Amino acid sequence: MPKKKGNPAHPENDVHRITLYNTVYPEHQHRSRKERLYLHFDFACYYAQVEQLRKRMYGIPLIVGGWRKENGVVKGIVATASYEARAFGVKTGMSALEAYKLCPFICMLQVDYATYTAISKQVHHIMKKYSHQVERYSMDEYFMDLTFMKEKSESEIRAFVRRLQTEIYDTTGLFGAIGVARSKTYAKLSSSLDKPRGISVIITDDDERAYIRPLDLNEVWGVGGKRYEHLRAEGYQTIGDVATKGNIRTFIRLFGANFGRMLFQTITGKDQGRILEENDEYSPKWGVSYGHTFSEGSADVERIKGEFAIGIEMICYRMRAYGIRGNSFSGMFGFNNTDLPWVGFRFVTDGYTNINKYIYKACMARILPAIKKACAEGMEIRNMMIGTHSIDKTSQMNLFFQDEAEHVARYEALDEINNRYGKGTVISANTLHRVEGNTHFLERNA
């Protein structure tokens, strides 16, 4: 992903690239409508695979995302689980305690983004030997333009793909599944057909009818829970339902002219998605956000303020990395007692900015009274979320912050130091106060 010229911040130095989009947006599509061929490579249980490899834990059920407190209580959320753990019913997103109950001898580790990113870049380098257009969609997923093989036979395509798959395994010791199809969406779906290390080549109408159309719509980019329910109410449950009896006018009525048309094309395999390479200009369509759950609930006001300072530091870094600024922010915080409703909030700054100081000040002015009230009443806060609500992609200085230029230079210098010598080399004083417990990834592996 690109960063603005002269800007030392980079998104991957702070958080891994999960996705650039939840479907194929118009700006990510080719203008021409020629036939193309795409490859999608997807590692199986990537974090878990890496940990099994580097710690020689083959065959051991493990999860990445859980840990034990000193008193033995299991905490955390499962980020991924090895196939051995999945055999016991452990799934991504469940609590580590649930995973422990399903498999009492499960091994729990924490996310190590630096290691995963390094291996991810190594795989990206390998794939660039096979095609001049490769997209590292996330740490464990990659797209490749295979249009140059469009006229090759299926056996030739399979042989080419198998060589790629084998080289990745021989180099990294990690395995993944590959899908090849005529649209970016269908390539992604195809790689899921024969996990963990299969190859699926879906390049004819008959292939699509046999393997893609039976899939539920909620397997498709952009079809979340609510959209899935709307589509089911209209009589669409599978991709085949839309492909054979779908009406684009229904999609436009349900989801709007632009998104409805785009979603219909995505589901029917008509999208013309571009391979977004590392030098492609990109910034998040809706901005950036941060969420965190503490090890324990806390009624300590200063520690809660510290957690919000950490969150704001995160989103400001990401905004600087993407070259965007915000002036409207929203979020919420929740309690240890899950019966209590979350407290939502929204605040604005005097102008568009990505400077920690301005956003933290405006945030505290808005939410500090609510935090103090909750803590005074013994309501322990357990989690928080904050994100941008309105963004600006220009670099124009504004009149609202007289010392903005000084702060921009200061944070560029701090970003450069932290990127060179390690995150946390230089930190803000207000981030020193945190809720007790090792809740920030690698600290729990120590």
Helix then strand then coil, % of the chain, to nearest 5: 40, 20, 40
Query: Cα–Cα distances in Å, from 333 out to 13, 304, 378, 386?
Result: 26, 10, 15, 9
Instruction: Label residue 206 left, alpha or beta by phi (over 0 means left) and psi (-120 to 50 means alpha).
Output: alpha
Residue partners of 76: CB distance under 8 A and separation at least 6 = 65, 66, 67, 95, 96, 108, 110, 444
Relative orientation angle of helices 356-376 and 301-322, to the nearest 10 degrees: 150
Rounded Cα gap, residues 30 and 36, in angstroms: 10
Q: Which candidate in 135, 141, 208, 307 is catalytic?
A: 141
Q: Are strands 325-335 and 381-392 parallel, antiparallel or unpaired?
A: antiparallel
Q: Is 141 a catalytic residue?
A: yes
> What is the strand order of the sheet 176-181 is part of?
134-138, 141-145, 38-43, 176-181, 199-202
29 secondary structure, DSSP code? B
Buried b (16+ CB within 10 A) or exposed e, 263-287: bbbbbbbebbbbbbbeeeebbbeeb
Residues tagged active-site: 141
